[in-house]
Copies of this chain bind each other. A is one copy, B any other.
Amino acid sequence: MGRPPDPARREATLARATDYVLAHGLAGLSLRPLAAALDTSPRMLLYDFGSKRQLVSAVLAEARRRGATRLAENLPAEAASPEEHLRGIWAWVSAPERAPFVRLFFEVHADGLAHPENYPDQAAAITDWFHTLGATFRDITTGPDDTVTPTLVMAVIRGLLFDLTTTGDRGRTDRALDRFCELLRH
């Protein structure tokens, strides 16, 4: 008996909190302004998430979840060539709509370098990419266990993303990807 729990509330505030973090970043995140923007109270945030730390990790998980599903929806078809895959990934990840995700991604990376204990599964998240990418770049890898080509491909994407986010020079970064595709062909 007693009043029934309302799990939908927690999920709703989690969704809106994720929006907020994507828009404002993790760095200066504070419960009171966050609660004000979400039309709730710091009291309720702690009630729903236990602590700020747990709130943040819930938000990061939610952001990862969103990014993963949207990427899956936008990958080229199975039969596409490696180059088409690469261009598809770059187009998707460098699109302006992805900018908040990219920003949060770099922010978590940087914070993880200073406090690795807060992000226990960060290294695993990177190596996970190699299984998916390794499959799609099967044609240009030297074997089924070749992690070198996926590593290089991901490095190019992340490095160009780094450049694009700081300089905003889309033309130059796009052409650099073209050049990389050209190198891969030969």
Chain A interface (Cβ < 8 Å from any Cβ of B) = 24-25, 27, 103, 106-107, 109-114, 122-123, 126-127, 147-149, 151-152, 154-160, 162-163, 165-169, 172-173, 175-176, 178-180, 183-184, 186
- Rounded to whole angstroms, the CA-CA distance of A163 and B162 in the bound complex is 13
Chain B residues contacting A123 (CB-CB under 8 Å) are 166-168
Chain B residues contacting A147 (CB-CB under 8 Å) are 172
Cβ of A155 and Cβ of B176 under 8 Å apart? yes
Chain B residues contacting A103 (CB-CB under 8 Å) are 110, 113-114
Cβ of B172 and Cβ of A151 under 8 Å apart? yes
Cβ of B126 and Cβ of A163 under 8 Å apart? yes
- Rounded to whole angstroms, the CA-CA distance of A5 and B158 in the bound complex is 48
Chain B residues contacting A179 (CB-CB under 8 Å) are 148-149, 152
- Rounded to whole angstroms, the CA-CA distance of A112 and B106 in the bound complex is 11
Question: Given A27-B27, A172-B151, A183-B184, A162–B158 Cβ distance below 8 Å?
Answer: yes
